[in-house]
Amino acid sequence: MAYAFDIVSIVLQVLQIIEYIVRIVGLVWPGEPEETT
């Protein structure tokens, strides 16, 4: 189960990085006409 735990941790890190990039892109490039915020 160690490999599965490593995969989960890597996936969580990748998702965190993606969320960070999405936030930056949202601030730099607010081109979406529909915003739920």
Q: Quickly state the pLDDT bin for 34 (edges 50, 70, 90).
A: low
Residue type, 4: A
> What average pLDDT does range 2-31 have in this prediction?
89
Helices and strands, counts by H and E, the chain: 1, 0
Rounded Cα distance between 37 and 23, Å, is 12
Percent of the chain with pLDDT over 70: 76
pLDDT of residue 28: 82
Distances (CA, A) of 33 to 7, 26, 30: 36, 12, 8
Mean pLDDT of 20-24: 93
Q: What does DSSP assign to residue 33?
A: S
How does residue 36 score in pLDDT terms, banded at 50, 70 and 90? low
Reading the block at residue 28, the tokens are 């730099």
Q: What is the pLDDT of residue 7?
A: 93
